[in-house]
Amino acid sequence: MDSAIHLFALAMEPESKALARGLRRRDPDLLSALIAQYEYRLFRYLLYLTGSEEAARDMFQETWLRVLARGHQYDGVSRFDSWLFSIARHLVIDSSRRRKMDSLDELLDTNQGGSAQEPQSSEGASPLAEYENTELAARISSILARLPSVYREVLLLRFQEDLSLKEIAGIIKTPLATVKSRLYRGLSAARELMEEVQP
Amino acid sequence: MRTHDAGNHPHERARQLIDRQLIEGIEMEERRWLEDHLGACETCAARWASTEAALTALKSISIPVPHGLAASTSLRVRENAVRLSNKRARNIALIAGCAISWAAGVASAPLVWRVCEWAGTSLSLPRIVWETGFFCWWLVPAAAAGLIIFWVNARAEREEMNGTLWTGSRPNGW
């Protein structure tokens, strides 16, 4: 298993190195390709972080401008998506600080005893609700919106983005043990909420 | 201290293993034990199935991406890439200009000093006057060049900002 991972890493290495070189050169074609490739995943992550489609759109653009400006900082060793999400998260936190808030938790857990808002579209209706394709997905969306942001974020990164625990720890700049603890607690909290809303 | 009796222990272990399997993975032996237990216990099997279904549903949640988001972002990125490239070229020119100016100043300083001294002596000026003149010769051109460069950079950035097509919404008060 380990050797398979190692072989995969070796096969991936030239691509990530080439990516790092392109980012250092500020290659606009490469950036356009990356924007298209990560459009959905990055926007989804930002939508969950900010809880607002408009804010997510702004942060999406700001994230790519930051990638352009700081592309030389990508080492070509770690996964690009982890680095990208890390930048996006920092921008959201910076933005929340500019709004006189101290942390991401305060940005998201603004009301109702720590429950975050469900992502809202510009028309006021939930973009999640508009596009839920199954009844279960609808319930999951509602549960996610009710989860404290610290749990929601790690659950999404682990189970929606399929990132490893180490990568999550790198993105949210938190010790691995804390990431694990949040995942266990988040999963448990999500399960309790699911039982509450069981039809 | 154990909080559950021996009868519940396998179920509690199964629950812990289900979570651990999903979050960080479990050993082969533990996996075998879990599979055996899930095969025999309907409650734990249902718990496993519902958790798996929930996580599958989590992945299937669809988010509407605003139309043209990638295209407008790409355009902004390209514009900024040009702006950064221009800025870099200006900075290189500025650094090169400063280096040449500094080198020329250092090289010509003894000659200029002698010229100022000769002029001061010929015109019977106090020493402080022609020394001030010498320092002005050093400072005034550099200050003027600095001001000109600052003005040119500011104008270029203003023109770029005016010329940049704003393709997204302005940062709002969210």
By CA distance, what is A39's nearest residue in B? Answer: B70
Query: Which one has a higher pLDDT value, B162 or B85?
Result: B85
If you compute the radius of gyration of chain B from its CA atoms, what whole number of angstroms results? Answer: 38
Q: Give the residue, B1 or A170, on which the prediction is more confident.
A: A170
Higher pLDDT, B26 or B4: B26
Q: Report the C-alpha dihedral over residues A118, A119, A120, A122, rounded to 10 degrees.
A: 170
- Please compute the mean of the pLDDT values over residues B59-73 and round it to a whole number: 88
Is B72 in Cβ contact with A61 (below 8 Å)? yes
Residue A39 with chain B: CB contacts under 8 Å: 65, 69-70
List the one residue out of A42, A50, A177 whose CA is nearest residue A104. Answer: A50
Helix (H) or strand (E) holding B128: helix B127-163
CB count, 10 Å around CB of B54? Answer: 19
Please report the number of interchain residue pairs, chain A to chain B, with beta-carbon separation below 8 angstroms.
129
Residue A192 pLDDT level (bands cut at 50, 70, 90): confident
Q: What is the pLDDT of residues A19-52, one digit of tens each?
A: 898 898 888 899 999 999 999 999 999 988 888 8
- B89 chain-A contacts, CB cut-off 8 A: none
SS3 per-residue string spanning chain A = CHHHHHHHHHHHHHHHHHHHHHHHHCCHHHHHHHHHHHHHHHHHHHHHHHCEHHHHHHHHHHHHHHHHHHHHHCCCCCCHHHHHHHHHHHHHHHHHHHCCCCCHHHHHCCECCCECCCCECCCCCCHHHHHCCCHHHHHHHHHHHHCCHHHHHHHHHHHHCCCCHHHHHHHHCCCHHHHHHHHHHHHHHHHHHHHHCCC
Check if B122 contacts A (Cβ < 8 Å).
no
Are residues A61 and B84, on separate chains, in Cβ contact within 8 Å? no
What part of A 145-174 touches B (C-beta under 8 Å)? 155-156, 158-160, 165
Are B61 and A137 a contacting pair at CB < 8 A? Answer: yes
Residue in A32, A43, A119 closest to B74 by CB: A32
pLDDT of residue B160: 60
Query: From CA B155, how far away is CA B165, in angstroms rounded?
Result: 18
Contacts of A50 in chain B (CB under 8 A): 174
Question: How far is residue A21's CA from residue A106's CA, in Å, rounded to a whole number?
Answer: 37
For residue B169, give the DSSP letter. Answer: P
Tell me the C-alpha to C-alpha distance, in Å, between residue B44 and each of A60, A185, B36: 41, 19, 11
pTM, two decimals, is: 0.68
Nearest in space to B70 (alpha carbons), one of B152, B167, B150, B139: B167
Handedness of CA A56, A62, A63, A65 (dihedral sign): positive
Question: Which chain B residues are within 8 Å of A26, Cβ to Cβ?
Answer: 81, 84-85
Where does the pLDDT of residue A196 fall: very low under 50, low under 70, confident under 90, or very high at 90 and above?
A: confident
Q: Both tokens of residue B140?
A: 């005034």
> Across the interface, which of A31, A52, A130 has its CB nearest the CB of B64?
A130
Report phi then psi at A122, rounded to 5: -65, -25
Residue B20 has pLDDT above 80, yes or no: yes
Check CB contact of A133 with chain B, cutoff 8 Å. Answer: yes
Q: CA-CA distance, B17 to B35, in Å (whole number)?
A: 10
- Determine the residue of chain A that is closest to B53 in CA distance: A136
Q: Are B95 and B73 in contact (CB under 8 A)?
A: no
pLDDT tens figures, A84-111: 999 999 999 888 887 755 455 555 554 3
pLDDT of residue A114: 39
Average pLDDT over residues A7-27: 75
**Closest CA–CA distance from residue A11 to any residue of chain B (Å):** 24
- Give the pLDDT confidence of B39-50 residue by residue, as tens digits: 999 999 998 988
Give pLDDT tens digits for B81-133. Answer: 888 888 888 778 777 877 787 788 788 888 888 888 898 888 888 888 888 88
pLDDT exceeds 70 at position B3:
no
